[in-house]
């Protein structure tokens, strides 16, 4: 079977940076690193990092109180903030734990937080396009000074509370660009002085564009690799399905079944921003062993 891989598949630079921050702090297991929730949304990578004594604590949404040791087996400990970022209130709490503190927040997410904070301080209502349960959005809301509102679809716009004259709109970094454009256009109709910031990150846009290119290259089916709870990976799978291609969202090569691919000659492969290279390579290698439709 022929396998074509998207150029952008794999770690985005924000995730790569967060992993680098944690590994530099761990020093090969010489120090214990606590991450407030999963550093990245890939359990296989988190398991690999645990071998360097990088430990996920807390919960997915960074809401639980933590009981951290300053030393584990005589090794010093440090807290690392994950790529999705946290609210200023959570940041203050983590720093109060008394351990060294390192920030692994993706700089792109930091820019969004800065825009939310600046406009909230100027009296703007803040509308965030995203998943209200996602840790990035939860973190961003913390900068909105109680004036933040989250919407995930156009149907939710009429249910927003009465907004003031000054409204600013941003997006979670991993959303669909066309959905954000449609939502911001509708919001502008309701709020004539709306200020819109396209905060969907470049890596997300590139992944979405590369996925369309896989279809144009003749992919009969699309395999999307990444955690089942990864927002950007789920978005990629949804986008592939919308282009009429059978889509398989897998976490590892173990999820692939030979009989499901017997009718395809060419399979396109992409991966979410938190998917490590070793998993992508193993999926591509296994797919290449399958018989294509023309040989079955």
Q: Which tokens is 215 given? A: 């279809």
Taking alpha carbons only, the member of 115, 162, 109, 167 closest to residue 137 is 109
Could you write out the DSSP letters of every residue in 41-84? S-HHHHHHHHTTTEEEES-TTS-S-----SEETTEEEEEEE-TT
DSSP designation for 162: P
- Angle, CA 288 vertex, CA 285 and CA 293 arms, to 5°: 155
Stated length of the chain? 296
Element (H, E) at 292: none
d(CA 68, CA 72): 9
Taking alpha carbons only, the member of 208, 215, 210, 213 closest to residue 181 is 208
Taking alpha carbons only, the member of 79, 64, 88, 84 closest to residue 32 is 79
25, 52, 56, 136: which is the annotated catalytic residue?
136
Q: Which tokens is 193 given? A: 């002085």
- Would residue 92 show up in a list of annotated catalytic residues for this protein? no
Taking alpha carbons only, the member of 82, 145, 88, 136 closest to residue 112 is 136
d(CA 29, CA 131): 35
Residues assigned a catalytic role: 136
């Amino acid at each position: 079977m022929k396998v074509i891989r998207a150029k952008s598949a794999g770690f985005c630079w924000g995730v790569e940076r967060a992993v680098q921050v944690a590994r530099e702090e761990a020093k090969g297991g010489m120090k214990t690193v606590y991450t407030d929730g999963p550093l990245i949304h890939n359990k296989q990578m988190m398991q690999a990092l645990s071998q360097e004594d990088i430990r996920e604590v807390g919960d997915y949404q960074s809401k639980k109180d933590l009981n951290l040791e300053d030393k584990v087996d005589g090794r010093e400990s440090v807290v690392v903030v994950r790529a999705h970022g946290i609210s200023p209130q959570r940041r203050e709490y983590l720093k109060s734990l008394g351990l060294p503190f390192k920030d692994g927040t993706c700089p792109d997410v930091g820019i969004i937080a800065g825009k939310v904070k600046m406009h909230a301080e100027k009296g703007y209502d803040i509308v965030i396009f995203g998943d209200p349960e996602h840790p990035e959005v939860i973190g961003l809301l913390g900068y909105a000074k109680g004036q933040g509102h989250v919407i995930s679809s156009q149907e939710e716009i009429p249910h927003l509370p009465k907004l003031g004259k000054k409204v600013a709109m941003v997006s979670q970094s991993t959303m669909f660009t066309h959905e954000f454009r449609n939502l911001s256009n509708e919001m502008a109709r309701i709020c004539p002085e709306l200020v819109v910031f396209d905060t969907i990150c470049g890596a997300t846009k590139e992944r979405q564009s590369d996925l369309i290119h896989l279809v144009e290259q003749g992919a009969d089916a699309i395999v999307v690799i990444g955690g089942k709870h990864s927002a950007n990976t789920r978005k990629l799978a949804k986008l592939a399905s919308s282009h009429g291609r059978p889509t398989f969202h897998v976490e590892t090569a173990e999820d692939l079944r030979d009989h499901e691919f017997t009718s395809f000659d060419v399979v396109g492969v992409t991966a979410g921003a938190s998917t490590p290279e070793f998993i992508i390579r193993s999926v591509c290698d296994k797919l290449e062993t399958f018989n294509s439709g023309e040989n079955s």
